[in-house]
Amino acid sequence: MWQRILALIQKEFLALLKDPKSRVVLIVPPLVQLLVFGYAASFDLKEIPYAVYDEDHGGAARTLLGHFQGAPSFHQVATLAGEAEIAPLVDTRTVLVVIHLGPRFGADLAAGRSAPVQVIVDGRNSNTAMIALNYVRSVVDRFNEDWIAGHGLTGPPARLATRAWFNPNLESRWFFIPGIVGMLTLVVTMLVTALTVAREREQGTFDQLLVTPLRMAEILIGKTVPGFVIGIAQATLILLVATLWFRVPMLGSLAAFYAGLALFLLSGVGAGLLISALSATQQQGLLGAFLFMVPAVILSGFATPIANMPPAVQFLTLFDPLRYFLVILRKVFLEGAGFAVLVDQFWPMALLGLVSLSLAAWLFRHRMY
């Protein structure tokens, strides 16, 4: 059995690497995403959940916090009694921003001095963090203008002291490069697997499988392994470039990373084989891969938060394996997460992989007989 499977895997690699069209597809992956961007992509924050840690409790503090409560984009979800309550809220993404007013906030303003306002922001998504900080800055600026007008001052009464968790310098590459691991792995894996059966049908060699001793499970394994191996190699290469060249920190477990990668490839290969089983030519396989990858990339939260998408679109993201893998990547890279934290991201990819591979096997059998 295994000898027959290894022979089929060898044939798949030779067919893939000898075909000029397949090499071009691997080297120049498609990146056209205009249609989905028009519906799902947005850099606006419609709602910023925030918590308040007020040690002053004075009139000036209540006035400043009232400006936040009156701002349409801000939604207060918690009032904190101590500094120890900040970390759990940020870790679980319950809040995006924490507003901290020190015990001398009102006294400094009354004495005509600038009073610090500490803003703690979740920096895992640097783009979202910067937008949130700009919104906070605009609210504080309105408070400053009102305070200056009411007290006849000449300088800003409050100044921001910002602090970003998980991404202290708010470098966008720390957010995007881990996501590129998932995006490029999906692109390459989908293109490799989506063309495999379609290429054989187009060349007239697919019917030859009918007269070989290979069973359906063996054919499925032989078609799956090449895409799986190429995906592992692609992701490993990007991982090395990200950590060694771009200096993106890898704080989590490599075992958790590769476990998530294996499940992600399982779902990606399954989707590619499903498309290939439905395609009669390589052109149809390529168009089917485009049809899957374009929304998969946009709906994954790679560039824009899923929370900003309409509810119907958010429901569609539940069927996107890239959504779960991006969470794994950013938690492993920036948060140092391990297996226990990522279990709820592992099982949806495993389920999607099993369903897609089962459908692909059924279609193989249906199309063959």
Query: Which of 21-35, 234-248, 283-297 bottoms out in mean pLDDT, i.e. has the lowest?
Result: 21-35
Q: Are residues 123 and 263 in the same domain?
A: no
Q: How many CB atoms lie within 10 A of CB 184?
A: 16
Amino acid, res. 350: A
Per the prediction, the chain carries an average pLDDT of: 80
Q: Which strand (E) or helix (H) includes residue 188?
A: helix 172-194
Report whether pLDDT(304) > 50. yes
Residue-wise pLDDT for 265-274, tens only, equals 999 988 888 8
Whether 340 is covered by a domain: the verdict is: yes
The string of DSSP letters for 102-159 reads: -TTHHHHHHTT--EEEEEEEE-SSHHHHHHHHHHHHHHHHHHHHHHHHHHT-SS-SEE
In a domain, 42, yes or no: no
At residue 294 the predicted structure's pLDDT band, cuts being 50, 70 and 90, is: confident
As separate numbers, helices (DSSP H) first and strands (DSSP E) second, the chain gives 15, 5
Reading the block at residue 140, the tokens are: 């504080």
Show the domain range for 233: 2-30+171-368
Q: Residue 30 — pLDDT band, cuts 50, 70, 90?
A: very low
CB neighbour list of residue 33: distance below 8 Å, 6 or more residues apart: 294, 297, 298
- The mean-pLDDT minimum among 8-12, 312-316, 354-358 falls in 8-12
In this structure, are 124 and 104 located in the same domain? yes
- Inform me whether the pLDDT recorded for 350 exceeds 70: yes
Domain ends where: 150, 165, 180? 165
Question: 165, 184, 208: which is the final residue of a domain?
Answer: 165
Cα separation of 16 and 149, whole Å?
A: 72
Same-domain check for residues 180 and 284: yes
pLDDT-derived band at 253, boundaries 50, 70, 90: confident
Q: What is the pLDDT of residues 49-87, one digit of tens each?
A: 999 999 998 988 899 999 999 888 899 999 998 888 998
Flag whether the pTM goes above 0.85. Answer: no
* 119 and 267 together in one domain: no
Which residue would you say has higher pLDDT here, 348 or 202?
A: 348
Judge whether 39 lies within some domain.
Answer: no
Coil/strand/helix, residue 259: helix
For residues 200 and 157, state if they share a domain. no
